[in-house]
Structure 1
Amino acid sequence: MKSGKLKLFVILLGQLLTIMDIFIINVSVPSIQRDMRATHGEMQLMIASYLIGFSSFLITGGRLGDVYGRKKIFMGGTVLFMLSSVGCGLSSGVPQLMAGRFVQGLSAALMAPQVLSMIQILFPEHEERTRAMGWYGITIGLGTIAGQFLGGCFSSLTIMEEPWRLIFLINIPICILAALSSLKVLSESKAPVRQSFDLWGIAVLSAGLFCATYALTTSEHRGVHIQNTVLLIVAACVLLYFIKNQKSRLTNKRPYLVDFGLFRYQNFNLGLVSVSFFFIMLDSYFYILSLFFQDGLGMGSMMAGEIIVFQGLGFILASVFSAKLILKYGKDALIAASGFIVMILAAQLFLFRMKTDFYLFCLLLFFHGVGVGSIIPSLANIALSGISEKLMGNASGVFNTVQQMAAILGIVAVGSVFYYFLGERPSVDDYQKAFSIALLINIFCLFFVMICMIKVPEHILPRTKKRVPFQK
């Protein structure tokens, strides 16, 4: 049987692509806007289109894996990601680039749930799975840093016109490697009982999530106005209808998209609440931090980027060691890590000032990354532990969807509070006040995360002294 490490490496290539392409576009925006002669609004929609496609189809992607096979859907997502990347790289105008980014997000939604599902299935033992989720966390950190680094590197090249196109074309060799390796290394897995697929459910759920994601994502840039309010109301009505429809289908034993039996698992519910509050905190923090550094403290974009890279380095380092801490201390390690982030945010309340030394900024961001990297890999582990194989893709899709929606909600909600306290003509003191209030909201969110961790059953993250070889 193939090594568990090799299988893990292959599926994490898909996770790397998913994360890297969220961040790789950000640094390249000025170059793309100049060469495409795009407006600010068009660029905002181009960035948002990836997240809209990603968030709208995660549950569908998870369910497809359950019904038709996780290996098959993972490979299909990889190939579609490659083709959409080619489309983005060769696009001649903004509409084509928007469409390509949307399809990229959709294909990432096919891959991402299979990654979490296959980790849970490949590594059923707690010790093995915890170490595998540590590597999952490392991949997120690497994707974040690599995305920002490659985006800046390719956009600054002078050997060709429009070098930003390379940020999309670089995906081609990674996709080919992932697809061919999947074909040779991965074993197929799907729900043990043959099931039909709910096409009507896909249409309804995707429409509801699309409306919600589009409204929230565009509110981040345009603010809340009548169009977005109407879209959110429509999304709420569509999603309520979807829930009623799915419950009826389950009762009548007809094909369904979401099995609400998932919510009978206490750890799944705790995992969803934890990841919601954690990503409301995390994504709003990064969004506001960049604004505060550049507009409030007057840093250049290069200096701000260098400081934020230290957060990623701390994240990767923590992901390396987090598995050992979880195995030794169980959920107490996560509670301690949450408290550690609270302390770091509290320190930033008092120490992030114009006269603060550069190295102190770097140190506090590094420690923030250590705390975050100690928690993120275990959130999915908590939610998906003990879920039956037939529900695994469903659970992974729901988990990923909640995570993405929470991230967008955090940016919009906490960002709105931040802008409210800035006022129309903000001074440095106004930025300081708005940043401090945003950090207090982040700390409040972390207290909810800690409460959820306390309530996690001991058997979900048991302490262990026995070392199990990392092999499948």
Structure 2
Amino acid sequence: MKSKYLKLFVILFGQLLTIMDIFIINVSIPSIQRDINASNGEMQLMIAAYLIGFASFLITGGRLGDVYGRKKIFIIGLTFFMISSITCGISQGVIQLMISRLVQGVSAALMAPQVLSMIQILFPAHEERTKAMGMYGITIGIGTILGQFLGGYFSSLMAFDEPWRLIFLINIPICIVAIFFSVRHLDESRTSIKESFDYWGVFLLSIGLFSMTYTLTVSEKEIFSVQNVLLMTTAVGILIYFIKNQKDKLKNKKPYLIDFELLRYKNFKLGIIAVSFFFIMLDSYFYILSLFFQDGLMISPMRAGEVIVFQGLGFILAAAFSVKLILKYGKKALMTGLGFIILILIFQIVFFKGSTGFYQLYLLLFLHGVGVGSVIPSLANIALSGMPEKLTGNASGVYNTFQQIAAIIGIVAVGSVFYYFLGEKPLIEHYHKAFTIAILINILCLIIVLVSIFKVPDDVLPKSKNNY
């Protein structure tokens, strides 16, 4: 019998690629912009393209896995990710690069739901699944660090013309290895009943989510412009119609995209609330922290980039060790992790000032990573715990979609508050005030997450009978 953990290792390749390519481009933006003669607006769209494609097709990707087979869709996602990485690497203009990044995001959306679904299927027992989700969390941390490191390393190579192209081409050998092992070692799984696919639902949902994520991603300071308000109103209208359409199809037993039976599971609803507010906090935190460090505290981009490394190391360490704590103490360990993040954020408000030494910065950032790493793996575990196999792909897609949209909302909403309190001609004290207000909003989000976890039934994250 093939090892479960070998299969887990194979599917985590997909998660690694998904996370790595969100971060790998950040450090290379100036050189890409220079070499392809792109404007600031075009670069913003190019960066947004990946996230828009990713967020817009996660639910579709999850449903495709349920209907046509999770192994098959995972491999298709890997294949198109590799092809789009090649077209990114050889792009001669911003339009080609933009389209390639969009396809890359859609390809990632085909892979990501299958990863969570297959983990639930491979590890039905609580203890094994908790360990597997710990490895899932470690992969997120490695992808974050590796993305930042490789982006900076490849972009600084002097032996090549336009070395930034390597940040995309590096995906090719990773995809080839992942496809090879996926074909050989993964088992196929799908819903037991042969079902048709809801193409009209895909069209409605994709257009609605695309319009929403596009508006949120590119709006930044002009969220309430006429164009953005009209586009967001249209997106909300399409999504409301989509929900009504799906309910009618379920009632009449026609092909559907989202099974609202998901909402009957209390832990799924609480998990969605928890992951949404957690990622509103997390992504807005990274966004304002970068602005505060570079523009407020005048820390160089290279030093500011080290932040991700220290936070990532804390994240990986906590994801590895939090497994034993979750198995020993259940959801109390998760709630303790959330309280720890709140405490570290309060310390950051107090100590993040112009006179703060780098060792203090690194320590507080490392501890923040420890807190985050102790929480993230268990959020998915809560939302998907007890989910029947026929709903795992659907549930994984919905979970990932809420996570991504929440991340974008956090950047736009909390970022707007940060800019408001910053003013037009900010001084260091204005930056600290804006940072403080933003962090207080982050703490409020974490309190909501804490309440959601408190309401989760004890049997969702039960204490292990073994002595850990």
Sort the TM-score into its range (normalised by shorter chain). over 0.9
TM-score by length of 2: 0.99
**What is the identity, as a one-letter code, of the residue corresponding to 1:239?**
L
**Structure 1 segments (4+ residues) deviating >6 Å:** none
> Could you say which residue in structure 2 is the equivalent of 1:190?
190
Once residues 223 and 261 of structure 1 are traced to their aligned partners in structure 2, the CA distance between those partners, rounded to angstroms, is 34
State whether residues 127 and 467 of structure 1, in contact with CA within 8 Å, keep that contact through their aligned partners in structure 2. no
Residue 95 of structure 1 corresponds to: 95
Aligned-pair identity in percent equals 69
> Matches of 2:21 and 2:221 in 1, distance apart?
20
Per-residue CA deviations over 1:148-203 (Å, capped at 9, x if unaligned) read: 00000000001110000000000000000111100000000001111110000000
Mapped contact 1:308–1:362 kept (Cα < 8 A) = no
Residue type of the alignment partner of 2:141: G
Equivalent residue for 1:295?
295
Instruction: Give, as a single letter, the amino acid of the residue that structure 1 aligns with 2:242.
Output: F
Q: Deviations over 1:430-453 (max 9, x none)?
A: 101000000000000000010011
Which residue pairs with 1:355 in the alignment?
355
Taking the aligned partners of 1:223 and 1:245, their CA distance within structure 2 comes to 29
Give the Cα separation in 2 of the matches to 1:227 and 1:103: 25
* Residue identity matched to 1:330: G
Q: 1:308: Cα distance to partner?
A: 3.2
Cα separation, 1, equivalents of 2:25 and 2:228: 25
Alignment correspondent of 1:63: 63
Q: For residues 281 and 158 of structure 1, what CA distance do their matches in structure 2 show?
A: 38
Equivalent residue number for residue 178 of structure 1 = 178
- Aligned-partner Cα distance in 2 for 1:283–1:253: 39
Structure 2 counterpart SS, 1:353: coil
Measured in 2, the distance between the counterparts of 1:318 and 1:222 equals 38
Mapped partners of 1:171, 1:221: distance in 2: 33
Distance in 2 of aligned mates of 1:90 and 1:222:
33
Tell me by how many angstroms 1:307 deviates: 2.9
Aligned to 1:258: 258
Cα offsets for 1:25-55 (capped at 9, x unmatched): 0000000001011100000000000000000
TM-score, length-scaled by structure 1: 0.98
**Alignment partner, residue 249 of structure 1:** 249
Q: Report if the CA contact (8 A) 2:46-2:101 is conserved.
A: yes
Name the CA distance, whole Å, in 1 between partners of 2:46 and 2:200.
28
> Which residue pairs with 1:127 in the alignment?
127
Report the equivalent of 2:217: 217
Residues in 2 aligned to 1:438 and 1:294: alpha-carbon distance in whole angstroms: 16
SS in 1 for 2:254: coil
Total equivalences in the alignment? 468
1:310 aligned residue:
310
Are the counterparts in 1 of residues 221 and 416 from structure 2 also a CA contact under 8 Å?
Answer: no
Offset of residue 303 of structure 1: 1.1
What residue is the counterpart of 1:46 in the other structure?
Answer: 46
SS at match of 1:192: coil
> Post-superposition shift, 1:467?
7.0
Deviation at 1:16, TM superposition (A): 0.2
Matched residue, 1:199: 199
Instruction: Specify whether residues 86 and 221 from structure 1 end up closer, same or farther in structure 2 by C-alpha distance, changes over 3 A only.
Output: farther
1:44/1:221 contact within 8 Å kept: no
Tell me the distance in 1 between the aligned counterparts of 2:332 and 2:219. 38
**Partner of residue 27, structure 2:** 27
Q: d(CA) in 2 for partners of 1:220 and 1:407?
A: 13
Matched residue SS, 1:159? coil
Deviation at residue 465 of structure 1 after TM alignment: 3.1
How far, CA to CA, are the matches of 1:266 and 1:222 in structure 2?
Answer: 37
Residue 6 of structure 2 is matched in structure 1 by 6
Structure 1, 198-207 or 214-223: larger mean CA deviation: 214-223
Cα distance, 1:13–1:467 mapped onto 2, change above 3 Å: farther
Q: State whether structure 2 residue 37 is matched by structure 1 residue 37.
A: yes
Partner of 1:281: 281
2: CA distance, partners of 1:364 / 1:345: 9
1:107 aligns with 2:107: yes
Q: Structure 1 stretch 457-466 or stretch 302-311: which is displaced more?
A: 302-311
Question: Cα gap change, 1:31/1:222 in structure 2, threshold over 3 Å: closer, same or farther?
Answer: farther
Distance 2:166 2:396 in 1: 31
Contact 1:45 1:98 in 2 (8 A): yes
Q: Distance in 2 between matches of 1:214 and 1:306?
A: 30
- What's the secondary structure of 1:161's corresponding residue? coil
Match of 1:161 in 2: 161
* CA–CA distance in structure 1, aligned partners of residues 162 and 96 of structure 2: 16
Please, which runs of 5 or more residues in structure 2 have no aligned partner? none
CA distance in 1, matches of 2:119, 2:308: 29
CA distance in 2 between partners of 1:156 and 1:439 (Å): 33
Give per-residue Cα distances to partners, 1:308-356, cap 9 Å, x unaligned.
3211110000011011110000000011000000000001111001111
Given that 1:145 and 1:312 are in contact with CA atoms closer than 8 Å, whether structure 2 keeps it comes out as yes
- C-alpha distance in structure 1 between counterparts of 2:460 and 2:308, whole Å: 33
Q: What letter is aligned with 1:86?
A: I
**Cα distance, 1:294 vs. partner?**
0.5
Alpha-carbon displacement from aligned partner over 1:287-308 (angstroms, at most 9, x marks no partner): 0000000000111111111233
- Whole-angstrom distance in 2 between the partners of 1:227 and 1:180: 46
Cα deviation for residue 222 of structure 1 reads: 5.0
Within-5 A mapping of 1:385-424: 385-424=385-424
Cα drift, residue 223 of structure 1: 4.5
